[in-house]
Amino acid sequence: MQVIKTAHELSQALAQQNAIAFVPTMGNLHAGHIQLVELAKTKNACVVVSIFVNPLQFGANEDLSKYPRTLEADLEKLKAAGADVVFTPSEQEMYPDFDASSNNTHQSITINLPSVANELCGAARPGHFSGMATVVLKLFNLVFFNGAKTRVAIFGKKDFQQLFIIRDMVKQLNLPIEIIAGDTKREADGLAMSSRNGYLSPAQKLEAPRLYRALGLLVDAVKQGRTDFAALETQTTQFLTQLGWVVDYISIRSAETLLPATNADLKLVVLGAARQGTTRLIDNIEFTLKPN
Ligand code: PAF
């Protein structure tokens, strides 16, 4: 496994590769990430993983400085999983005008996203998805455009809105890249694996799977025929709030457009974001209704 820090070395390492399967990450890898690497391994391609905590997608009051950085352990996990190349650029490598004293990327050309990026997670995290999409496009440029003809990028379904936005960006910008979605990996109690779970206290960790269970109850209610989506969202929000959660949103949406669900939609997704203390957890469940 090659560990590469610069764009120049990366282009040299990938120049002879015909097929690349790419898994972008921010490190602090858990079994959910490794499952994405395993999916990449099935593509018969050179498996490239990036580890980069992207300042551009963190708001001023977010956890950029305390975001867990565990490079040595990550590299061991990636080696065991069979990754071929790991790209671990510095901030200066990704953002040539980066100012370390203020964490300012000085990236003045960014991806302008449709309004869906300001909803759900985007409502609580202004600019987050534009920063995410911008770095993903930069990584795509560095990883894919060294001669490879087959280009696959893999993203987890846990970040459903992120996946939706990336697919839309690839479509609207005509990027010759196939996007593949990997399933959410869960703990035995249902909690979706996330690097942020490490912030939870033991008591919060016990409570955390309730978000997934609450979304599951909502799915059951819709499957049983309830169509009063707004009331269901409010009910679930109140239920979690009574148990001490601070809910950002609970929302039933079309899985195809990410617009608020209507009675005509059959492919649905229920998404939620809520805080245990200062830790913000997100989760979602996709489901399909039978036509009447
Ligand atoms: O999902 C993540 O870890 C990040 O948003 C990504 C896609 C690596 C971009 O920084």
pLDDT, tens digit (0-9, with 9 covering 90-100), for 84-137: 999 999 999 999 999 999 999 999 999 999 999 999 999 999 999 999 999 999
Ligand 1 in contact with 250 (CB < 6 A)? Answer: no
CA of 189 relative to ligand 1 center, distance in Å = 25
Under a CB-based contact definition with an 8 Å cutoff, are residues 246 and 275 in contact? yes
4 forms beta bridges with: 87
45-99 pLDDT, tens digit per residue, is 999 999 999 999 999 989 899 999 999 999 999 999 999 999 999 999 999 999 9
Active-site residue, 106 included:
no
Residue whose C-alpha is closest to residue 26's, from 141, 104, 135: 135
Q: For residue 203, is pLDDT > 90?
A: yes
Under a CB-based contact definition with an 8 Å cutoff, are residues 34 and 109 in contact? no
CA of 50 relative to ligand 1 center, distance in Å = 9
Q: For residue 189, is pLDDT > 90?
A: yes
pTM of the model: 0.97
Please give the pLDDT value at position 56.
98
Work out the pLDDT band at 292, boundaries 50, 70, 90: confident
Please give the pLDDT value at position 286.
98
Please give the pLDDT value at position 249.
98
Ligand 1 in contact with 54 (CB < 6 A)? Answer: yes
Cα–Cα distance, 202 to 276 (Å, whole number): 11
Percent of the chain with pLDDT over 90: 99
Among 22, 23, 25, 177, say which to mutate for ligand 1: greatest number of ligand atoms within 8 Å of CB: 25
Ligand 1 in contact with 26 (CB < 6 A)? Answer: yes
Ligand 1 in contact with 24 (CB < 6 A)? Answer: yes
Percent of the chain with pLDDT over 70: 100
Please give the pLDDT value at position 273.
98
Under a CB-based contact definition with an 8 Å cutoff, are residues 17 and 44 in contact? no
Q: Is 214 helix (H, G, I), strand (E, B) or coil?
A: helix
Among 132, 134, 166, say which to mutate for ligand 1: greatest number of ligand atoms within 8 Å of CB: 132
Residues 6+ apart with CB under 8 A from 123: 248, 249
Instruction: Classify residue 62 as left (phi > 0), alpha (psi -120 to 50) or beta.
Output: beta
Ligand 1 in contact with 25 (CB < 6 A)? Answer: yes
CA of 24 relative to ligand 1 center, distance in Å = 6
Mean predicted confidence (pLDDT) in 243-267: 98
Cα–Cα distance, 45 to 22 (Å, whole number): 9
Work out the pLDDT band at 42, boundaries 50, 70, 90: very high
Average pLDDT, the chain: 97
